[in-house]
Amino acid sequence: MIKFGGGLITDKTQLKTIKAQNLDSVCEIMAKILQKGNEIIIVHGAGSFGHLEAKKWKLATGYDRNIIEDQRKAVKKVRQDMLELNKIVLDNLEKFGIKSLSHPPSLWANGLGSKFNGDIDRFKKNNSNTIHVTFGDVVDVNDKREFGILSGDDLMVRICNEIPDISHCIFLLGDTEGLLTKPPNQEGAELIRIWSNDQEIIGVHEKSQDVTGGIFLKAESASIICQKIPNVWMLDGRKPERIEELIQTGNTIGTKVI
């Protein structure tokens, strides 16, 4: 189970801008992992294809009667943009010989957080050589909010808890080697090799760019997942060869969540 962070595959500061080299590098490693007989489920973030527009129209908090018509237009726009990003991811996987099946959450999920409503059985092993891919999205909510943001991290929690025999859950980050003792742009920030949720995180949530929970939601999600799955890691997605090293040897440079 692998999460391509939105900040890894897109430039979160520039609307709908792909980091093509990062995406290619990660997809190439996916192909190598599959060739060795492993199975993969991929979740990818929204990055600049979702967060900036969602932030502008307050989609994370749902219905706002002062701007509701603009919000409804923005919901459609973000869903279209996410399908566009998803197609870019699928096309890149195909470039490396990987067939994939996409599961846009707006078509099958309802509600927010890791207890959202939706049939996770769709991610069970299939008989063909395809891998399952899904992503953070704007979904319907059956209450006064009307809609909201279902994070890719919440999808990770549900899938890891409900699909049997997942051995590894890996969060690929876009700007750091793993969890750090300080935000990555601060002097003296050091990699935390082993982390559990009784350790405080000193991080920065880029509220101007991120409408979910940033590194804090990732850490919270990882701490839930590791109750069931033995290998939960946060790795530098810019160095995807570390994924292969982790699967082969059981260890690499990054943060193991326990």
Domain definitions of the chain by residue range: 2-257
- Mean pLDDT value across residues 40-68: 94
pLDDT above 80 (res 54) = yes
User: How many of the other CB atoms lie within 10 Å of CB of 229?
Assistant: 18
Report the distance separating Cα 158 and Cα 113, nearest Å: 9
Q: What percent of the chain clears pLDDT 70, i.e. is strictly above it?
A: 95
The helix (run of H) or strand (run of E) holding residue 9 is helix 6-9
* 246 vs 209: which has the higher pLDDT: 246
Residue 209 has pLDDT above 80, yes or no: no
Task: Give the CATH architecture of domain 2-257.
Answer: 3-Layer(aba) Sandwich (3.40)
Per the prediction, the chain carries an average pLDDT of: 93
The CA–CA distances, whole Å, from 41 to 7, 53, 151, 222 equal: 19, 27, 16, 16
Is the predicted pLDDT of residue 201 greater than 90, yes or no? no
- Evaluate if residue 213 carries a pLDDT over 70: no
Alpha-carbon Rg for the chain in angstroms = 17
pLDDT band at 208 (very low <50, low <70, confident <90, very high): very low
Please report the pLDDT score of residue 215 as a whole number: 83
Identity of the amino acid at 17: T
Does the pLDDT at position 211 exceed 80?
no
* Average pLDDT of the segment spanning 58-77: 97
- Residue 178 near residue 191 (C-beta atoms within 8 A): yes
Q: Hey, which bits of the chain come out as E strands? A: 2-4, 41-44, 99-103, 130-135, 137-140, 147-150, 168-173, 194-195, 231-236, 255-257
Reply yes or no on whether the pLDDT at 183 is more than 90. Answer: no
For 128-175, how does the pLDDT look when each residue is reduced to its tens digit (9 = 90+)? 779 999 999 999 999 999 999 999 999 999 999 999 999 999 999 999
